A and B are shown apart, each in its own frame.
Chain A
Amino acid sequence: MTIELFGMARELVGAPSVRLDVDEPVPLRSVLEELAAQYPQLVGQVLAPLTHAPLDPNVVLLDGRRAHGLDEPVSDADRPCLLFLPSGG
């Protein structure tokens, strides 16, 4: 599964997207756990240390809308992306 990254997630990983080896569909929780395992630099900065849920103002979008929760099933077709909520400027 490919996850697009934006903002600090992209900065910390050093790439615009990453590929994760997971069986689809898979709960979002597992996707984020895998992401945290492969890129521990995200933990504490973009992903919460224990739950690995995105830390405010970061969110996961699935098919252009916000993921309902960590149990929501995700597949590549959802074009998952981890981005921050834009503001100000």
Chain B
Amino acid sequence: MRLIPRLAPAACAELLSVDLTSERVERAPYPLTAARLGGVSVAVELLASAIGGPLDPLSPENPLVFAPGPFAGTAVPAATKHAVATISPLTGRLTDGLSSSHWSGALRRLGLSALIVQGARANWTVLAIDDTGVRFLDGTALLGLSPAQTTQRLREMLGGRHWRVAAIGPAGESGVRFATIDNDGRQAGRGGAGAVMGSKRLKAIALASGTDSAFEIADPERVQTISRALRERALGPDTAKYRVLGTGANLRVLQRMGMLPTRNFSSASFEGAERVTPERAREEPEAYLERRSGCANCPVQCEHMYVRRTRDRKAASASEYESVWAFGPNCGVDDLDAVLDAVGRCDAYGLDTISAGGTIAFAMECAARGLIDVDAFGTPLRFGNAAVLAPAIDAIACGEGLGATLGLGVRAAAEAIGGGAEVLALHVKGLELPGYEPRALPTYALALAVCTRGACHNRAAAYDVDLRNPGQVLPDEARAAAVIDAEDTAIAWDALVLCKFTRHCFDDFWSEGATLWSAVTGEPLDPAGLRDVARRTWQRKRALNEKLGWTPAEDVLPVRLGEPLREGPYAGARIDSASLERQRWIYETLRS
């Protein structure tokens, strides 16, 4: 079957459905209307319509949906991105993530509004998709390879660098529940989309879109003008902290503010923060080599990668805040080299760094309480022991020994370990917590509790409300309304799939985002329409979770957060479950 035989208007995209079991491939019109926009709203709509009720996330019945942003493959900067949605093996609920690379652009340039993969293969397979159609290739020879190695090998096999590859690593193959899907060094899949792909025995999806795009931009001049202005702003002070320093610079600030979760959230201040901040590597150019990288078509290139000058430059690891926090302060480790090595290992295995670090921190505390063997990884599983990070990550990725239990994520691992380990498991709905202290950030705390994905900081940047006014007392109604606004805003960004790091480049996101969408697709959209899509998409997310068995009892925070912080500017702060429940109730009332 030929895909994309003609140049179509940007809005007239198609849905490609691939059933791995039967090898049935279908394509059908699935236009990017103003009611759909693209990205996460499309992915959630498709996933919700394909699911009838509770299912095993690692069964063939779990669909895996990829939906490019409407601006992917166009001149719009920081927007060549796609959404991934599936049912998470960590939470049993929706997980919707974003990633960004030329793979996203290829998906869009093939004229697709989405790709939905269902069923499972008997043998390891690669899907190769170009404008001649879809091929099912044997993927057995790629087993055990990292995503980067898989990409290289597939390009050799398929004949060219124009093939863009999304692949899982060994962690996805062995079913680690927080495995990611990697594309060109960028990852999607907090919540284990890589494990879902692995359960389908799908090692990779390779795309080649050719040089000509399959879609036509409605108003190319307008898109160029807006893109040029955005690009200029993205090179100015509005994004300087990302461009010059990277998100790793958050570490020092959060430490100064007393909001840096430390040793499995037993404290909010880490005495080794200065030694492990990625800014240290930047400030010691004689010791560390820095490489910049980032997403396709983005002038910011916010990824700052570091490696000791004594090592190969190719061994440079990403230094994003969340990753460094997860293996640094959260594990009590103050050895920057060990932390960077841990991040690099996770990328090679295809593991989510936040969940991997959170799981190891949980294991360290379990070992301290005698619930598991402190020597399970050959060196003490103790807070602060940098040497244990590498063997623990290796064991998790390969499903060996205690690593197999930890690869289930903290919630399921705590159940398996027993003995009260549940109180040491820092998660919401099964997804491990990211690196902001909820006891110091009450609006963020509510957003984490109600988030449809579990403990995700990116589905609502509600911490912004708290950080702008640290310590401020807000009425419950205002707090709940702020969470709703933060969620809807995030969904709008994720439907247009624009990078949130460029938010200061917009004067009025709602009207500029709508204008940009209209200029690309030719379909009218105003700010109210954009808000409507955000609201409807949230309703779809919630309805999907309800179909899967969600109840309000899941919208709670870990027991540990009910214990007061012992020191720092927020000493005494705790999550009061009755007050959280009241806020949650108001949130529900406002939502309905």
Contact = CB atoms under 8 A, between A and B. Distances in A.
Interface string A43-71: 01110000000011101010011100000
Given A56-B504, A89-B320, A45 B237 contact: yes
A88 B471 contact: no
Nearest to A6: B253
Interface in A22-41: none
A88 B247 contact: yes
Given A87-B463, A88-B458, A89-B250, A66 B470 contact: yes
B461 interface: yes
Nearest to A66: B469
Interface string B457-469: 1100101100111
Contacts of A84: 241, 249, 253
B390 interface: no
Contacts of A89: 247-248, 250, 320-322
B501 interface: yes
Contacts of A61: 257, 470
B464 A85 contact: yes
Interface residues of B, number: 34
B256 A86 contact: no
A8 interface: yes
Interface string B246-289: 01111011101110000000000000000000000000000000
A3 interface: no
A81 interface: yes
Contacts of B500: 87-88
Interface in B267-326: 320-322
Contacts of B457: 88
Contacts of A59: 468
B253 A88 contact: no
Given A8-B241, A44-B237, A83 B253 contact: yes
Given A44-B237, A45-B237, A88 B501 contact: yes
**Chain B at the A interface: SS class:** helix
B240 interface: yes
B240 A8 contact: yes
Contact of A86 (B253, B258, B472): B253
A11 interface: yes
B321 A6 contact: no
Contacts of B237: 8, 44-46, 55
A86 B325 CA distance: 13
B256 A4 contact: yes
Contact of A45 (B240, B245, B569): B240
Contact of A85 (B320, B322, B458, B467): B467
Given A87-B463, A88-B458, A6 B256 contact: yes
B501 A6 contact: no
A88 B321 CA distance: 8
A81 B252 CA distance: 12
Contacts of A4: 256
A65 B468 CA distance: 9
B35 interface: no
In the complex, which of the residues A46, A85, A86, A89 has the most CB atoms of chain B within 10 Å of its own CB atom?
A: A89
A31 B393 CA distance: 48
Nearest to A9: B241
B417 interface: no
Contact of B254 (A44, A45, A86): A86
A8 B239 CA distance: 10
A53 B343 CA distance: 38
Nearest to A56: B504
B258 A66 contact: no
The 3 closest A-B pairs by CB, nearest first: A89-B247, A89-B321, A86-B250
Interface of B: 237, 240-241, 244-245, 247-250, 252-254, 256-258, 320-322, 436, 457-458, 461, 463-464, 467-472, 500-501, 504, 569
19 contacts: A6-B252, A7-B253, A8-B245, A11-B245, A45-B237, A46-B237, A64-B258, A64-B471, A65-B470, A66-B469, A66-B470, A84-B253, A86-B247, A86-B249, A86-B321, A87-B463, A87-B467, A88-B321, A89-B321
